[in-house]
Amino acid sequence: MENTLLDIKNLKVWYRTYKGYAKVVDGINLFVNKGEKVGLVGESGCGKTTTMKTVLRVLDSKVATVPEGEILFKNRDILKMKYNELQQVRKQSISMISQEPTAALNPVFTVGSQIMDIIRYSEQYKDYSKSEMLSLAVKTIKDVLIPDPERILNSYPHQLSGGMKQRICIAMALVTPRELLIADEPGTALDVTVQDQIHKLLKALVEEKKMSLIMITHSLGVARELSDRIYVMYAGNIVEVAQTKELFKNPLHPYTLGLMECVPRLYGGGISEGIYGYIPDYINPPAGCRFYPRCPSAMEICEKEKPPTVSVSEDHKVACFKYH
Amino acid sequence: MNTEILKVKNLKTYFAINKSSGKKQYVRAVDGVSFSIKEGEIMGLVGESGSGKSTIAYTIMGMYRPTEGEIIFNFNGKSIVTKSNKRSLEFKKNVQIVFQDPGSSLNPYHDVRQILSLPLRVHKIVPKDKIEEKIAEILEMVELPASFMYKTPTSIGGGEKQLVSIARALCSNPKFIILDEPTSSLDVSIQAKIINMLLKIHREQKLTYLFITHDLSLMRNISTKVAIMYLGKICEIAPTEIFYKSPLHPYTQMLLSSIPVISEEEEALKPKKVVSTGEIPSPVNVPKGCSFHTRCIQCMDICRTEDPVIHQVSEDHFVRCHLYKS
């Protein structure tokens, strides 16, 4: 276990609502090794972002509660950390890229001052002079392949295009050395050609800096391109995990299969029927397997009992009674 | 079957900006687009954001006044020319649109019954006392239960909202429907469901679709003809089979190569050695010459100075690029 950077154990996250608790994340187990790129795939509302926001503890504690679970970052539980320790992790160890670059940047400060803030408050460059910090910022902007970095540093976010803004967000996440990068659908708000560039850039930078990456996405194609291992999430549960190649060669869980059939293929052949039904209500989720009401191969036991995760091969785990 | 239902000739839609500063500038959102759609076709109009694909849709619908050009509809041998925003009731009955965001295109204060009864009343599809019956029938067509009638848009999910918008478009028995990215804000499993529904209705009602999207792999599966747009102009237009077998325009190749795919077979279909670079420039300052030359890997000297005209490379395959000048 020396090699494990982040280890989430049986994490549950509930949101308070006026109807009762919405049990959004329902006991997930997930780990990331050092230097590994992990994909977390699922449809909207399945709890991917909630999980990752819990890792950084940025969810509003008045609304979200964690009734159970551990998030071990380098063997220390993030959920039990004191404020100062937590800030240390946020400043120096984990960074996050959000889905919407426009919302992530502050519109009233220049890009340069926002990047400089990160360098200053990371406390890793205490003995740097201002000009040294500035040259570090320029270097980072060059790393994300933006021409004319000096001009960019003096511009405001609204003067930049969507792709540029997302590049700036990546630069901000990578400007100080970190161990883990959480990327929350960084390409979703962008055009396909720009998305492709951003993903390639992200992959190259993460590999160069030997960081670990958690790539949150709803697209199996993106996960296939960017990750070594993929977790498939449905309604707050990890339903399947496998090495990328293995998952696409041999998908097992009915949800993974359904999801793969839904993706329109480049060689044509029409569109599949889709998955029957909709994502369940989190306040009163199905008692057994949460996928049971939509599952084409549901059995009697699925309605009553939650399927445990079983290993089908060394790295391939699936939570389904079919493989019991 | 082979009659042209819509013919667009040299359509231009410009928007004036900076009016107050005295220097009048134009955003050339649509700049000389010509195409035609035959009855029963599903034409895919593909492009990045800012390429003018939605502007074309809105101009055809009469929501924008075209700066230049003609839009000719042909229903049962009768042609309707849409001039500015005076559209006849007959036109409105035959041409319908489904918008991208169902959340903002459905009135949140009306229930589904009110939303669907308006077009039925306006076009006098059924007598007043039969409206509810007809609504139930239309809801059934999009596979929603009749009890949906009493729900409001705020209480239903995104996919269901989009189904209601489709039902609303179907109310007036149209012949031509414009689908403006109907599934781009939805998950793939719901997208598959809605696309199947649209294809089923297309077969049953003998409709013609203009499908606007940015998803080329989706178009591969449903369209009969694909047109690629870049900065207000069509770059390449061809029947689906030919289009995906031999994409010619460098921009088409770039688009195809950037699609994230999920299998090796698909990976093999993507054009090789094409790396996507740059972003779509602002339509206010369109580059001189070919508007794509700033991002093109096969850019030649002529591209910087001269705007290419559209060339015919095979029977139905047209490309606007200097590389294919005969």
Contact B279 A191 (CB under 8 A): yes
Choose between B62 and A206: higher pLDDT.
A206
A196 contacts in chain B (CB < 8 Å): 257-258, 260, 276
Contact B263 A274 (CB under 8 A): no
Among the partner residues A222, A262, A267, nearest to B192 by beta-carbon distance: A262
* DSSP-assigned letters across all residues of A130-164: HHHHHHHHHHHHHHTT-S-HHHHHTS-GGGS-HHH
Contact A274 B258 (CB under 8 A): no
B261 contacts in chain A (CB < 8 Å): 221, 224, 265-266
Distance from CA of B220 to the nearest CA of A (A): 5
Identify the top-confidence range among B70-79, B82-91, B167-176.
Answer: B167-176
Neighbour count for residue A74 (Cβ, 10 Å): 14
* DSSP-assigned letters across all residues of A65-129: EEEEEEEEETTEEGGG--HHHHHHHHHHTEEEE-S-HHHHS-TTS-HHHHHHHHHHHTSS-TT--
B220 contacts in chain A (CB < 8 Å): 264-268
A218/B contact by beta carbon, under 8 A: yes
Q: Determine the 3-state secondary structure of A247 from DSSP.
A: helix
B193 contacts in chain A (CB < 8 Å): 273-275
Among the partner residues A163, A225, A264, nearest to B279 by beta-carbon distance: A163
Query: Is residue B326's pLDDT more than 70?
Result: no
* A167-177 average pLDDT score: 90
* pLDDT computed for residue A1 by the predictor: 53
| Two tokens, residue B33 | 């687009």
Q: Which residue of B has its CA nearest to A245?
A: B263
Q: Determine the 3-state secondary structure of B107 from DSSP.
A: coil
> By the 8 A CB rule, do A38 and A228 touch?
yes
pLDDT, chain A, mean = 90
| Two tokens, residue B31 | 């700049």
Encode pLDDT of B2-19 as tens digits.
788 999 999 999 988 877
Rounded to whole angstroms, how far apart are CA atoms B325 and B323?
A: 6
Rounded to whole angstroms, how far apart are CA atoms B283 and B13?
A: 12
Going along chain A from its start, the domains and CATH numbers come out as 4-234 (3.40.50.300), 235-324 (no CATH)
Interface A:B, Cβ pairs < 8 A:
123
Distance from CA of A119 to the nearest CA of B (A): 28
Rg (CA), chain B: 21
CA angle (A133, A137, A140) in 5-degree steps: 135
Q: CB under 8 Å to A229, separation ≥6 — which residues? A: A36, A37, A38, A39, A241, A242, A243, A244, A315
Q: Which residue of B has its CA nearest to A265?
A: B217
Pairing of strands A310-311, A317-318: antiparallel
Complete edge-to-edge strand list for the sheet that includes strand B317-319: B95-98, B176-180, B208-213, B42-47, B225-230, B233-239, B317-319, B311-314
Least confident of A220-224, A266-270, A316-320, B31-35: A266-270
Question: What angle do helix axes B188-205 and B158-170 make, rounded to 10 degrees?
Answer: 10
* pLDDT computed for residue B18 by the predictor: 73
Interface test with A, best of B262, B272, B277, B296 (most A CBs within 10 A): B262
* B95-101 average pLDDT score: 90
Encode pLDDT of A248-262 as tens digits.
999 999 999 999 989
Choose between A96 and A269: higher pLDDT.
A96
* pLDDT computed for residue B84 by the predictor: 57
Among the partner residues B221, B244, B254, nearest to A264 by beta-carbon distance: B221
B242/A contact by beta carbon, under 8 A: no
CATH class assigned to B4-324: alpha beta
pLDDT, chain B, mean = 88
A196/B contact by beta carbon, under 8 A: yes
For chain B, percent of residues with pLDDT exceeding 70:
95
* pLDDT computed for residue A24 by the predictor: 92
Of the pLDDT bands very low, low, confident and very high (cuts 50, 70, 90), residue B82 is low
Burial of A109 (C-beta count, 10 Å sphere; 0-12/13-18/19+)? middle
Among the partner residues A219, A258, A269, nearest to B260 by beta-carbon distance: A219
B268/A contact by beta carbon, under 8 A: no
Contact A193 B276 (CB under 8 A): yes
Residue of B70, B42, B272, B85 lying closest to B179 (CA atoms): B42
> By the 8 A CB rule, do B315 and B238 touch?
no
Least confident of A50-64, A186-200, B26-40, B219-233: A186-200
A163 contacts in chain B (CB < 8 Å): 279
B190 contacts in chain A (CB < 8 Å): 274, 278
* pLDDT computed for residue A194 by the predictor: 86
Tokens 């040259």 -> residue: A135
The CA–CA distances, whole Å, from B151 to B129, B288, B311 equal 21, 52, 52
* pLDDT computed for residue B83 by the predictor: 61
Contact B196 A219 (CB under 8 A): no
Query: Is residue B1's pLDDT more than 60?
Result: no
| Two tokens, residue A284 | 């009163």
B259/A contact by beta carbon, under 8 A: yes
B262 contacts in chain A (CB < 8 Å): 220-221, 224, 248, 260, 263, 265
Least confident of A89-93, A290-294, A307-311, B90-94: B90-94
Encode pLDDT of B113-147 as tens digits.
999 999 999 999 899 899 999 999 999 989 888 88
B277 contacts in chain A (CB < 8 Å): 197
Query: Is residue B175's pLDDT more than 60?
Result: yes
Longest dimension (CA), chain A: 68
* pLDDT computed for residue B85 by the predictor: 58
Query: Is residue A2's pLDDT more than 80?
Result: no
Interface test with B, best of A239, A263, A282 (most B CBs within 10 A): A263
Encode pLDDT of B190-221 as tens digits.
899 899 999 999 999 899 999 999 889 999 99
Rounded to whole angstroms, how far apart are CA atoms B232 and A212?
A: 42
Q: Which uninterrupted H or E stretch holds B158? A: helix B158-170
Among the partner residues A161, A192, A267, nearest to B214 by beta-carbon distance: A192
* A183-187 average pLDDT score: 89
* A50-62 average pLDDT score: 90
Interface test with B, best of A46, A247, A266 (most B CBs within 10 A): A266
* pLDDT computed for residue B69 by the predictor: 86
Residue of B143, B201, B141, B196 lying closest to B177 (CA atoms): B201
* pLDDT computed for residue B81 by the predictor: 67
* pLDDT computed for residue B4 by the predictor: 87
A248 contacts in chain B (CB < 8 Å): 262-263
Contact B260 A225 (CB under 8 A): yes
Q: CB under 8 Å to B37, separation ≥6 — which residues? A: B4, B5, B6, B43, B176, B208, B210, B225
Encode pLDDT of A94-123 as tens digits.
999 988 888 899 999 999 999 999 998 888
Please give the ipTM for the structure prediction.
Answer: 0.84
